[in-house]
Amino acid sequence: MTDRTLKIVYVTPALYMAGGVERVLTLKANYFAEHFGYDITIILTEGKGKPLFYPLSDKIKIVNLDINFEELWTCSFVKKVFVYLKKQRIFKKRLSEALMTLRPDITVSLLRREINFINDIPDGSRKIGELHINRANYRNFDAEEAGQLKRLFAKWWSGRLLSHIRKLDRLVVLTDKDRESWVELDDVVTIPDPLSLTPSSVSPLSEQRVVAVARYSHEKGIDLLLQAWSEVEKQNSGWRLDVFGDGDRKPYERLMAQLHINGAHCQLHGRTNNVEHEYLKSSLFVLSSRFEGFGMVLTEAMACGLPVVSFDCPWGPRAIIRDGEDGLLAENGDTHALAQQLLRMMGDDRLRSQMAANAVKNVQRFSIAHIAVQWKALFDDVLQK
């Protein structure tokens, strides 16, 4: 590799949504363009004409192939098959044309639909896959609850996926535990998500308030959090719990009623546009996910000076929290254990204060500057092959 500008292309569905993958990609691309001088292009398939949710550097180019796979959401099962195959053919043609024109040094796939053919595009670039969820839950088919046909399809699909991933120059995952799960592969590298907040202050820990930030979806375990909280409030009624996130809150509001949770001390809110403000007026953060790719909200909360309590779910929290030093882990899915860890933290001012100070210090290992250096080393290594 000469001293010429490194040209990198990212392939991902969309950037108009307020998701974690979108935030991380934007943060990294901005840093690479502004600090390393990389020539960055992001290729999208969705959201033609929609504004980007997170601000993007003027130095970064966007190419929208306008495939609109989101149309599949409204199709019947039979129609979905034919529409998908047609759109996939168009996607392959347009992405191939784009990469052959751009001729990047490195193409980074976010491991969506392009993984089925990206290794076959002869544009000369090194191909890197970037996975933002743990292997066990990547394209989860719920095989245990599925019929025989679906289980056979899941097995066939998983085999094909592995054959595609095996052809990549590198696979990047977020935690060492997930790296260890890819036993069939040799070129798997761990690079965590970067810290997405740089707060100007930290929480004074003056409010008796626990905060959670998560989608109202099964994997985020808000139902488990409410079960734990129903136990907590019986033993410590002075604190309150506030949950913020996208999604349908109604099932969880019904669960609150069934558990006789006091609505004056536990509220379920929609997504906040100022999550830093909510962290700073809280004294404790809780994560109740059944599984995580990483757990970016943990690093955000810690950067804002909050001690954290979390399920030890696969695989993110243990890679972030130093149990007993800057937070407390509870056995995954054990709501009584989660309640006990919350009560321990709520009942000990000195413990909260010490863990908060450790959290602010320890979380700096996820700073964008530190993570970007790891990516730079990976890019340089791949290009030397």
DSSP characters for 269-284? E---S-HHHHHHT-SE
* Residues 248 and 223 sit within 8 Å (Cβ to Cβ): no
CA 187 to chain CA mean position, Å: 22
Query: Which residue type sits at 103?
Result: R
pLDDT at 315: 87
149 pLDDT higher than 90? no
pLDDT at 78: 83
Alpha-carbon gap, residue 265 to 282, rounded angstroms: 14
CA-atom Rg of the chain in angstroms: 22
pLDDT at 385: 74
Mean pLDDT over the full length of the chain: 93
pLDDT digit string, tens, across residues 213-238: 999 999 999 999 999 999 999 999 89
Q: Which of these, 164, 158, 143, 281, lies nearest to 211 by C-alpha position?
A: 281
141 pLDDT higher than 70? no
Quick one: average pLDDT of 150-171?
81
pLDDT digit string, tens, across residues 300-347: 999 999 999 999 999 899 999 999 999 999 999 999 999 999 999 999
Q: Which of these, 194, 273, 204, 285, lies nearest to 239 by C-alpha position?
A: 285
pLDDT at 1: 47
Quick one: average pLDDT of 176-184?
93
269 pLDDT higher than 50? yes
pLDDT band at 89 (very low <50, low <70, confident <90, very high): very high
pLDDT at 237: 86
* Residues 264 and 241 sit within 8 Å (Cβ to Cβ): no
Kindly report the number of other CB atoms within 10 A of residue 22's CB atom: 19
Collapsed DSSP state (helix, strand, coil) of residue 97: helix
pLDDT at 142: 44
pLDDT at 240: 98
Find the angle CA(24)-CA(28)-CA(34) to the nearest 5 degrees.
145
pLDDT digit string, tens, across residues 35-76: 999 999 999 999 999 999 999 999 999 999 999 999 998 888
Q: Which two tokens stand for residue 166?
A: 């095996």
Alpha-carbon gap, residue 145 to 128, rounded angstroms: 33
Q: Who contacts 331 (Cβ-Cβ below 8 Å, separation ≥6)?
A: 311, 312, 337
Quick one: average pLDDT of 86-93?
97
What's the distance, Cα to Cα, between the start and end of the chain in Å?
10
- Tell me the percentage of the chain whose pLDDT exceeds 70: 94
Task: Name the one residue in this structure whose structure tokens are 């953060």.
Answer: 285
- Tell me the percentage of the chain whose pLDDT exceeds 90: 85
pLDDT at 108: 98
Measured in residues, the chain has a length of 385
Domain annotation for the chain: domains and CATH numbers: 7-194+367-383 (3.40.50.2000), 209-365 (3.40.50.2000)
243 pLDDT higher than 50? yes
Q: Which two tokens stand for residue 142?
A: 């719920």
Sign of CA dihedral 304, 307, 310, 316: positive
pLDDT at 253: 97
